[in-house]
Chain A
Amino acid sequence: MANTLTSQARTADHPRPAVNYLNAQKGIWSWLTTVDHKRIGIMYLVGVLSAFLMGGIFALFVRLTLLNPQHMLFGKVLMTAETYNRVFTLHGAIMVFLFIIPSVPAALGNFVLPLMLGAKDVAFPRLNLASFYFWVFGALLAITSMVVGAVDTGWTFYTPYSTTTQGSVGLMTMAVFILGFSSIFTGINFVATVHKLRAPGMGWFDMPLFVWGIYSTAIIQVLATPVLGITLVLLLLERVFSIGIFDPKLGGDPVLFQHFFWFYSHPAVYIMILPGMAIISELIPTFSRKTMFGYRAVAYSSVSLALLSFIVWGHHMFVAGQSQLATVIFSALTFLVAIPSGVKMFNWLGTMYNGNISLETPMLYAISFLLLFGIGGLTGIFLGTLSTDVHLTDTYFVVAHFHYVMMGGTVIAFIGGLHYWWPKMTGRMYTEKWAALGCVLVFIGFNMTFLTQFFLGSRGMPRRYYNYLDQYQPLHAFSTYGSWVLGAGLFLTAINLLMSLRKPMDAPDNPWGGTTLEWKTSSPPIEHNFEDQPVLDRAPYDYRPQPVAR
């Protein structure tokens, strides 16, 4: 893929540094006490991928239980309703809090952001390590809660069920509270880093779009997460002390919980998607070898999504008992928030137009994102529209919608980004054909699993249902088969990436011909990132043969 940017493997005149961030310090203690953003990113990566595995196994069990209405597998009932209720709750809670929210910012962002800015580290390296340990502590508390009784409330913890049910709701609440600190510290770190640690010559509109996306995400992390924190504290006080604010028998209001909860959780879904979109904004220009179309529009759309995300939470509550006026206003605002996402889609396609496109695995994932997030976003319109939402909310239609945006969107982008930056992080190239096959299997399996669920929902199948009417069985069965294909694809992808670690460390500095600063250093980078402080000499995503000097 030769152009003026792609580098060859290192030569004798310009040898690969013998010492890089991976081998500069040795021993597990050096990892556990590191303040190097790259090592912290790797540790986060291991952590979130383990959480993804755990959440994924729970998902497979959910689908297995729904294969037939009798929940039979090999002649035995797979699990009871009570167990099922815990399994789907844990699937949701693990995926949302332990995996998706930290995934792109803490694992990939930590690694790449300082490099992209030409900085030596994030603003607060020790806070970064602390954020990781909060994640670990929260994860351990969550696992403990699973073991000592688990939670059966759904990941949304609605009162009064969550304040009265048996199970380890308190422990799980505390786990999520601790995880919130991890998210806040990451957010604080990234905002400060973007403001103060850019390379000389890098103004705001010279930053890569990945940075804009992570920055917008960080703003949400800082402003929204504390509200989740106080919501969980209130839930805990209600559960332990019957403080009375959500209990109607003590003068409280159960719907108040939903307002508090969604005030965080709606911005949270933008914490999940903005980094995914940020990755796509890197992949598409790079693999199209063309400048990003509408850079400013994409940058502004990231920030506006972050801000608009705070004023639409009531669209989760159209039938929950909020006032009719609020319902109408939230629906109107929800349509407004659709526009910036649409703008990004058009800009990505506009970038591909007249490009010079190669289809390595990261680009396959980027194209998958366009298709899958496209479906996810379009189905959001059905839910924002009041008359159809009444029929569709709380059914499998919603389940399908959010899996399309969260998994078809964020997770697909995450895996694409993982492949894209893999050579930078590990110094090795994975085997392309297995990676591409993995992408194809994931794409097919994902659609098999979740496209079906739109129809289950529109036909009236409610969500969080253990038992279901016989008429839904064919669709449920097909969805379960899809989950096996999806699982196989993910498994293949993971194995392929892990196997690459056995290869020699021979990845070039810039295998893809990217224009952003992380490609100007070795793969993997040296400990302090750059040998000499990089100074920006071209506009972002400038693929002209003679880039215009700045």
Chain B
Amino acid sequence: MEWIRSLMLPPQGSAFAGEVDLVYMALFWMSVVLFLGIAVCAIGFAWRYRYKPGRVTPHQTHNTMLEIVWSVIPLMLCVGIFFWGLNGWMKYAVAPGEAMEIQITAKKWLWQFEYPDGSRTANEIHVPVNKPVRFVMTSEDVLHDFFVPDMRVKHDIIPGRYTEVWFTPTVLGMHTITCAEYCGKGHSDMHAKLVVDNDADYQKFMETGGSEWEDYKMKPAEWGRLQYERKGCSTCHSIDGSRIASGGPSWKGIWGKMEKMNDGKEVLVNADYVRESMMQPQAKIVAGFDPIMPTFQGLLREHEIQGLIAFIKSLGNDLNGGPPAPTVLSLPPKPAPANQQQ
């Protein structure tokens, strides 16, 4: 039966996923049985009692006992299912006291995470396996929703308020976080990565912010390309010269250009300008665009900023049109850690 479950439901990534799936599968089989019952009756009766001219049907207006039975039994079934669902839900609803707290700020259209020690990440989060983690969430603009299918948790994120969700991750590896409350143009691009690490990897992540860069030994522009996709830049900035509606200027060919701002001044697009645009996006607005870019202050590590700068530079400059944009990257297989222990 596990294969049926795995067809319908995502991998079980949290401690209570199993329980949720048990209820789901029970309801599923119950529904199959009841539906078959309805179908067999409806189609069976249509066949068995098919029209014969002159046949007189019995005048059965009601049968009180039968009607009571088929009202009371479903009612009892419903009461049972209600309590079973309530039971599972109560575990979801109340976080244990020792859960580590991570703060989420959702905004159109990216996820900002903040750890207890104050460090922040964007669109990616690492948590240690088998330890409960609690997310305290708020939005900076409209409604969003924190949904992690593998963990079987979901809750809306509301501006001006804090809402909570918690779980204990049990499976190592990458799980997807998606936004599940419609929030506009980038709603379906608002993904984040939840990486469940063993203790050693988690420690390393907290100290260094992740070693992907060193592991993969990418060139800065390639690394920047990865951040372009992961940190939400691609939602608003194209790299082929096209203009994304309600977004920002394309990055193609802007390096070294004298860009015109909305106050008439001209500014050179160099490393300082790009860095300022990420940290204080409202400081200078390119003419013809709206001041809607969120700040990435605290959300990008220094090597990520440098990667992005290098990537923009690689998209061509004003002088010679630049080399063609790099093709979509697929990451090479992860090399074994230098000090692997068994």
A462 contacts B178, CB within 8 Å? yes
Seen from chain B, the residues whose Cβ lies within 8 Å of a Cβ on chain A are 7-10, 16, 19-20, 23-24, 27, 30-31, 34-35, 38-39, 41-43, 45-46, 49-53, 55-63, 66-67, 70-71, 74-75, 78-79, 81-82, 84-89, 92-93, 141-143, 145, 147, 149-150, 152-156, 158-161, 163, 176, 178-189, 245-246
Please tell me if A2 contacts chain B, counting CB pairs below 8 Å. yes
- Residues in A with CB closer than 8 Å to B10 are 459-460
Please tell me if A110 contacts chain B, counting CB pairs below 8 Å. no
Given the contacts A338-B74, A394-B147, A358 and B50 also touching, CB distance less than 8 Å: yes
7 contacts between A and B (CB under 8 A): A289-B51, A355-B57, A375-B35, A387-B86, A390-B155, A458-B8, A462-B188
Please tell me if A346 contacts chain B, counting CB pairs below 8 Å. yes
Please tell me if A335 contacts chain B, counting CB pairs below 8 Å. yes
- Residues in B with CB closer than 8 Å to A253 are 160
B67 contacts A343, CB within 8 Å? yes
Please tell me if A530 contacts chain B, counting CB pairs below 8 Å. no
Given the contacts A386-B89, A387-B19, A346 and B27 also touching, CB distance less than 8 Å: no
Q: Mark A367-391, 1 if CB is under 8 A from B, else 0.
A: 1001100110011011011111111
- Residues in B with CB closer than 8 Å to A8 are none
B145 contacts A319, CB within 8 Å? yes
Task: Return A316 CB to nearest CB of chain B, in Å.
Answer: 12
- Residues in A with CB closer than 8 Å to B150 are 460
Task: Return B143 CB to nearest CB of chain A, in Å.
Answer: 6
Given the contacts A82-B245, A386-B85, A394-B147, A352 and B24 also touching, CB distance less than 8 Å: no
Q: Of A248, A288, A464, A465, which one neighbours B161 at CB under 8 angstroms?
A: A248
Please tell me if A261 contacts chain B, counting CB pairs below 8 Å. no
Interface 9-mer from A33-41, A95-103, A128-136, A537-545:
A537-545
- Residues in A with CB closer than 8 Å to B46 are 352, 357, 359, 363, 367
Interface 9-mer from A49-57, A466-474, A496-504:
A466-474
Given the contacts A328-B86, A385-B85, A81 and B185 also touching, CB distance less than 8 Å: yes
Given the contacts A354-B49, A378-B31, A467-B189, A331 and B86 also touching, CB distance less than 8 Å: yes
B38 contacts A345, CB within 8 Å? yes
B20 contacts A391, CB within 8 Å? yes
Task: Return B250 CB to nearest CB of chain A, in Å.
Answer: 15
- Residues in B with CB closer than 8 Å to A324 are 93
- Residues in B with CB closer than 8 Å to A458 are 8-9, 24
- Residues in A with CB closer than 8 Å to B31 are 375, 378-379, 381-382
Number of A-B contacts (CB under 8 A): 262
Report the separation of the CA atoms of residues A428 and B179 in the bound assembly, to the nearest whole angstrom: 53
Given the contacts A161-B142, A339-B78, A391 and B85 also touching, CB distance less than 8 Å: no
- Residues in A with CB closer than 8 Å to B19 are 387
Given the contacts A352-B49, A387-B20, A387-B88, A339 and B143 also touching, CB distance less than 8 Å: no
A355 contacts B156, CB within 8 Å? no
Task: Return B11 CB to nearest CB of chain A, in Å.
Answer: 10
Closest residue on chain A to residue B89 by CB atoms: A386
A85 contacts B176, CB within 8 Å? no
Interface 9-mer from A169-177, A264-272, A291-299, A482-490:
A291-299
A161 contacts B49, CB within 8 Å? no
Please tell me if A14 contacts chain B, counting CB pairs below 8 Å. no
Report the separation of the CA atoms of residues A356 and B49 in the bound assembly, to the nearest whole angstrom: 5
- Residues in B with CB closer than 8 Å to A346 are 67, 70
B82 contacts A332, CB within 8 Å? yes
Seen from chain A, the residues whose Cβ lies within 8 Å of a Cβ on chain B are 1-2, 80-82, 85, 152-154, 158, 160-161, 164-165, 248-249, 253-255, 288-297, 319-321, 324, 327-328, 331-332, 335-336, 338-339, 342-343, 345-347, 349-350, 352-359, 363, 367, 370-371, 374-375, 378-379, 381-382, 384-391, 393-395, 455, 458-460, 462-469, 542-545
Given the contacts A336-B78, A387-B88, A462-B180, A354 and B27 also touching, CB distance less than 8 Å: no
Given the contacts A339-B75, A385-B23, A387-B20, A356 and B55 also touching, CB distance less than 8 Å: yes
Among A339, A374, A391, A467, the most chain B Cβ lie within 10 Å of the Cβ of: A391
Task: Return B239 CB to nearest CB of chain A, in Å.
Answer: 16
Given the contacts A352-B49, A356-B52, A385-B23, A459 and B9 also touching, CB distance less than 8 Å: yes
Task: Return B66 CB to nearest CB of chain A, in Å.
Answer: 8
- Residues in A with CB closer than 8 Å to B154 are 319, 390-391, 393-394
B70 contacts A343, CB within 8 Å? yes
A164 contacts B142, CB within 8 Å? yes
A378 contacts B35, CB within 8 Å? yes
- Residues in A with CB closer than 8 Å to B142 are 160-161, 164
- Residues in A with CB closer than 8 Å to B51 are 1, 289, 356-358
Task: Return B145 CB to nearest CB of chain A, in Å.
Answer: 6
9 shortest interchain CB distances as A-B pairs: A248-B160, A460-B149, A387-B88, A385-B85, A386-B89, A290-B57, A465-B188, A335-B78, A394-B180
Among B9, B34, B78, B183, the most chain A Cβ lie within 10 Å of the Cβ of: B78
Known: A291-B59, A291-B60, A459-B9. 4 other contacts (CB 8 A): A331-B86, A336-B78, A342-B70, A469-B176
Report the separation of the CA atoms of residues A339 and B84 in the bound assembly, to the nearest whole angstrom: 18
A387 contacts B85, CB within 8 Å? yes
Report the separation of the CA atoms of residues A321 and B139 in the bound assembly, to the nearest whole angstrom: 13
Closest residue on chain B to residue A347 by CB atoms: B67
B182 contacts A464, CB within 8 Å? yes
Task: Return B158 CB to nearest CB of chain A, in Å.
Answer: 5
- Residues in B with CB closer than 8 Å to A394 are 145, 147, 154, 180-181
A385 contacts B153, CB within 8 Å? no
B188 contacts A321, CB within 8 Å? no
A339 contacts B27, CB within 8 Å? no
B158 contacts A353, CB within 8 Å? no
- Residues in B with CB closer than 8 Å to A353 are 41, 45, 49
B38 contacts A319, CB within 8 Å? no
Task: Return A74 CB to nearest CB of chain B, in Å.
Answer: 20
Task: Return B97 CB to nearest CB of chain A, in Å.
Answer: 17
A388 contacts B20, CB within 8 Å? yes
Task: Return B5 CB to nearest CB of chain A, in Å.
Answer: 10
Report the separation of the CA atoms of residues A354 and B59 in the bound assembly, to the nearest whole angstrom: 10
Among B41, B145, B150, B155, the most chain A Cβ lie within 10 Å of the Cβ of: B41
- Residues in A with CB closer than 8 Å to B143 are 158, 160-161, 254
- Residues in A with CB closer than 8 Å to B86 are 328, 331, 386-387
Closest residue on chain B to residue A2 by CB atoms: B53
Report the separation of the CA atoms of residues A347 and B158 in the bound assembly, to the nearest whole angstrom: 45
Q: Of B78, B159, B246, which one neighbours A254 at CB under 8 angstroms?
A: B159
B89 contacts A387, CB within 8 Å? yes
A543 contacts B152, CB within 8 Å? no
A385 contacts B84, CB within 8 Å? yes
Closest residue on chain B to residue A464 by CB atoms: B182
- Residues in B with CB closer than 8 Å to A384 are 82, 85
- Residues in A with CB closer than 8 Å to B7 are 455
Closest residue on chain B to residue A160 by CB atoms: B142
Q: Of B49, B60, B159, B246, which one neighbours A160 at CB under 8 angstroms?
A: B159
Closest residue on chain A to residue B61 by CB atoms: A291
- Residues in B with CB closer than 8 Å to A292 are 61
Task: Return B156 CB to nearest CB of chain A, in Å.
Answer: 5
Closest residue on chain A to residue B88 by CB atoms: A387
- Residues in B with CB closer than 8 Å to A455 are 7-8
Task: Return B53 CB to nearest CB of chain A, in Å.
Answer: 7
